[in-house]
Homo-oligomer: A and B are copies of this chain.
């Protein structure tokens, strides 16, 4: 039997992701105000490179849940901004390894602070245990659909 837990009036926000749109806009504004000239999408690529530098574009696709053309162009733009550098792999000439520049390394601390600030803005008034449940649900949703 279908678990018909959704009435029609409740579909909308879940599908359109209004909450995450709001979070992304808020963070983008904080970047702009701070004079950091990067987009949220570019930041999301840097985020994974800060965790592990020198990974391939394909690995960035998996990590950021984007397709290959999207990563190609994000890396293009990050390269123009002098934030990353493509380095051809020596083992496999199909692969580009993406490395952070010194300039990008410097961005980590500031942008991460703004991201945490944004989440604190977002979650004001939400008890921690409900946040945990929410994260858990969103993780299952992602796993169900990815």
A: residues with CB less than 8 A from B are: 2-6, 8, 10-27, 40, 44, 47, 64-65, 112, 115-116, 118-126, 128, 130-131, 133-142, 144-146
Is there an interface contact between A119 and B18, defined as CB atoms closer than 8 Å?
no
Q: How many copies does the complex hold?
A: 2
A62 and B142 alpha carbons, distance in the complex (Å): 28
Partner of A44, one of B12, B27, B44: B12
Given contacts A17-B24, A44-B12, contact A141 B128 (CB under 8 A): no
Secondary structure at the A interface, as helix, strand, loop or mixed, is helix
Query: What's the minimum C-beta distance from A138 to chain B, rounded to whole angstroms?
Result: 4
Given contacts A6-B120, A133-B130, contact A23 B17 (CB under 8 A): yes
Partner of A22, one of B18, B125, B146: B146
Is there an interface contact between B141 and A137, defined as CB atoms closer than 8 Å?
no
Is there an interface contact between A125 and B146, defined as CB atoms closer than 8 Å?
no
